[in-house]
Structure 1
Amino acid sequence: AAVVLGFMLATWWIATKAERLVPPCGKFIEIGGSRIHYVEAGEGRPIVFLHGLGAQLHHFRHTLFGRFGAGYRLIALDRPGSGYSVRAGGASGRLPEQAEVVRRFIEELGLERPLIVGHSLGGAIALALAIEHPTAISGIALIAPLTHLEARVRQKFDLLYVPSRLKRWILAHTLAIPYSLKYAEPTMKFIFAPQAVPGDYMIAGGGWLGLRPAHFQATSTDIVAVEEDLGRLEQRYGEILMPAGILFGADDRVIGIAAHGEPMPGRIRELDFERVQGLGHMPQFVEPERVVAFIERIAARAFPA
C-alpha cells in the first residue's frame, strides 16, 4: 500500500509540475459533453490542425503558426482527452467518434469547409472526416499519417495497449507517469529520430503535458481505437475525392513510409505525395518551412481563388 501511495504521490507531483510549466493558452468550447481547448491565429481561409498520439496543440502552434503567409485562419485543438481537452464521460474515443467531435467543432466555430491538417494519428482522424463527413471540409493535408492497421506500429506502443478502462485508470494514477518520466529521453529520441529532439520541446513544444494521468488514459484509448477502427476505414480511401496531400519522411521510425505512405497514391485520386529523404516522424519541428509550403500547396487546391 505504501508503494502504491508513493507512486500516486509521484504522479500528482509530476502532473502538477507539468501544468505549471505548460498552462492552458487558448479558449474552451463544449462539444457534446467534451470540453475542447483550442488556439487560433490570423484571419481568412480556415485550416484546422489535428495532432497525433500523446501530443497536443503546441505541436503546431509552436512550430508552424508564425510561418504562414496572410489570408489564413489557423486553428489547433487538443483532441478530446489530450492536452487540456476533457473527453465526455461516456465517450469511447473511437476514431469515427473523434471525427464527429471535430465536425461539430467546425460547426460550432462557424468555419466554412476548412482544410484539415493531420499529423500521425491525427492523419487517421482527418481521413475518417474525409470519408464520413466530406461536405464539412475542403481538403486534407497529412503529415506522416497513420493510414493502415499494422502489427509493427502496435508493437512499438504495446505498453499503451490497455483495453480495460479500469486497468487504464489504475495505471494512469500509479505506474504510468513515473515510468514515462524515467524513460522520457529514449522515448523522445525514438520519436524524433534520425533528427535530434529540440531543446525546447518539453515546454515550448508542450512535451510536459504528456506526463499526466488523463493524457496517459487518452493515449491508451487512442491505441485501442486504432485497433478497432483503422482496418475498416482503410477499405474506404477510394471514396475520397477532395484535394489531398501527404508529406512523409523516408526515415520515419515510428510509422514506416512503406506501409503507411507509399500505398496511398494508388488509393486516393490525384494525391499530392511528397517523400522527404532523411526525415523522421516530426517534420513540423525539423523542417517547418517545408511543411508550411506543403500545407499552402494543398490549400491552393482546397480553396480555389
Structure 2
Amino acid sequence: MISIALLALSVAGAGACVSSAAYTSRVQQANPVSTGRIVTVNGHGVNVLTAGTAGPPVLMIHGASANAREFSWTLAPRLESEFRVLMADRPGHGYSQRFDGASALGAQAAQMAGVLDQLAPGEKAVIVGHSFGGAVALRLALDRPDLVEGLVLSAPVSHDWGGGGQAWYNGLAAAPLVGPVFTQLVPTVGPAQVRAGIDSVFDPAPVPENYFENSAIGLLFRPPNFRANAQDVRTLEGELASQSKRYGELTVPIVVFSGSRDTVISPKLHVGELKKQVPVELVILPDEGHMPHHAHGGDVANAIRRLATGGESR
C-alpha cells in the first residue's frame, strides 16, 4: 500500500512536472547541446566538447554535480593552441545518455575509452579528472592503459571512506520508487540552494565570477540528471572499495593537485592512500579547497604539457 507521505509526494511531483519542464527548457536554451558533438559508444551517446585542432589529445572528465563545461572556460583555453582537448559528459550528465549499470566506474571508463577510440584512434592521451572524474580516470588507466599517457588529477576521489557523508536528498533521488517523483521537485529549490552553497566547495579560495553560469551547473537540476548524479554518488564508495585494490597495476605517471583545506573530501583518505600503492607526484596547495584547477589552472596545464611530452612525474 502506498503510504500517505508517498502519496503526498506523488501529488506534489505531478504538480512540479510543469515547472520542471519549463526549467529544463530554459537551462537547455542557455546551454545548448549544439556546442558539443555526440559520439556513440557502446550504443549510447556521449556528448563531447572540443577545443583545439592539432597536437596530442587530452581527455577531461568532470566530477559529481557537474558536466564537461567545467573545463571549457578553465583549462581548455590554456591548452587549445597546443592540444586537441576533449571534454566529455559522463553518462547521464550534461547531454550524455544514461543507461542501466552506468553508475559502475568500469562502465563510465568504457564510455570515456570509446571517445578516445573514435576521436583519437591509435593515440595515447593525458587524462584529466576532477573529484569523481578522478576515480573514472584511474579506472580508465587500469582498464585501457593503451590509451593513457598519464593522469593529472584535481582533488580526486580514489578510495572508500568508511561510510557517511551522503546528503539525504541523494538517497531519495536514487530510490527506485520515490526517486523519479522526488526529482521533479528539484528545479524549484535546487538551483538556489546550490548557489548558496558554492562557497563551501571553493573555500577558502574565492568563487570565480559567474561560476554557476560558466560551468552550466543548472543542467544538474533537470530531473533525469539529478537522479543520475545521486545514483553515481550512492554507488561510488562500494565501487571504490573494489577498484582501489587494483591500483598497484598502474604504471602511468600520475600528478595530483590537492587543496590542503579541502572539506568536500579528505585528501588523507584519498590521495594519501593512493600514494601508498603507486608513485604519485603530489602537489599540495595551501589555502585551497576542492577546486584546484580554477585558481591553479596554470600549474595544472603545465603538468598536462609535461606528461603529454613524455615528462615523468617526480
Q: Structures share a fold, TM > 0.5?
A: yes
Moved over 4 A (4+): none
- Alignment pair present for 1:155 and 2:165: yes
Give the distance between the partners of 2:56 and 2:126, measured in 1 at CA.
8
Alignment equivalent of 1:14, drawn from 23, 29, 37: 23
Q: CA deviation at 1:80?
A: 1.1
Give 1:156 deviation, angstroms.
Answer: 4.4
Q: Which position in structure 1 is the counterpart of 2:4? A: none
Alignment of 1:189 with 2:199, yes or no, is: yes
Task: Give RMSD over aligned pairs.
Answer: 2.1
Q: Which residue of 2 aligns with 1:140?
A: 151
Match of 2:137 among 126, 142, 149: 126
The structure 2 residue matched to 1:105, chosen from 110, 115, 124, is 115
Superimposed CA distance per residue, residues 117-138 of structure 1 (whole angstroms, 9 cap, x where no aligned partner): 1100000011111112222222
Which of 201, 213, 219 matches 1:203?
213
Please state how far the C-alpha of 1:179 moved relative to its aligned partner: 2.8
Counterparts of residues 1-305 of structure 1 (less than 5 Å): 3-24=12-33, 25-42=35-52, 43-68=54-79, 70-88=81-99, 90-111=100-121, 112-151=123-162, 154-162=164-172, 163-172=174-183, 174-269=184-279, 271-301=280-310
| Secondary structure in structure 1 of the residue aligned to 2:120 | coil
Give the 3-state SS of the residue equivalent to 1:80 in structure 2. coil
* Superposed CA offset, 1:78-119 (max 9, x none): 11110111123x343211111111112211223312111110
Amino acid at match of 2:225: H
**CA–CA distance in 1 between the matches of 2:252 and 2:237?**
26
Q: Is the 8 A contact 1:14 1:177 kept in 2?
A: yes
Q: Which amino acid aligns with 2:95?
A: Y
Asked whether the equivalents of residues 139 and 302 of structure 1 are also in contact (C-alpha less than 8 Å), the reply is no
Distance 1:235 1:149 in 2: 11
Q: Which amino acid aligns with 2:246?
A: R
Amino acid at match of 1:29: V
AA aligned to 1:124 is A
Amino acid in structure 2 at the alignment position of 1:187: G
Return closer, same or farther for 1:13/1:140 CA change in 2, 3 Å cut-off. Answer: same
Q: TM-score, normalised by structure 2?
A: 0.88
Q: Which moved more, 1:255-264 or 1:71-80?
A: 255-264
Contact residue 129 and residue 137 of structure 2 kept, 8 A: yes
Instruction: Give SS of 1:189's match.
Output: helix
| 1:268 shift after superposition | 1.1
Whole-angstrom distance in 1 between the partners of 2:167 and 2:303: 29
Give, in whole Å, the separation in 1 of the partners of 2:235 and 2:274. Answer: 21
What secondary structure is seen at the aligned counterpart in 2 of 1:14?
Answer: helix
How far residue 239 of structure 1 moved from its aligned partner, in angstroms, is 1.1
- C-alpha displacement of 1:183: 1.1
SS in 1 for 2:179: helix
- Is 2:259–2:286's contact at 8 Å kept on the other side of the alignment? yes
Taking structure 1 as the reference length, the TM-score comes to 0.91
Distance 1:255 1:298, change over 3 A: farther
Is the Cα–Cα contact under 8 Å of residues 168 and 220 in structure 1 kept in the other structure? no
State percent identity of aligned pairs. 27
Q: CA deviation at 1:250?
A: 0.6
Q: Where does structure 1 lack aligned partners over 5 or more consecutive residues?
A: none
Cα deviation digits, residues 51-81 of structure 1 (max 9, x gap) = 0001111111111111127431111011111
Report the Cα distance in structure 2 between the residues aligned to 1:156 and 1:224, rounded to whole angstroms.
7
Shift of 1:151: 4.0
Write the distance in 2 (CA, Å) between the matches of 1:33 and 1:86: 10
Aligned length: 300
User: Does the CA contact (< 8 Å) of 2:91 and 2:98 recur in 1?
Assistant: yes
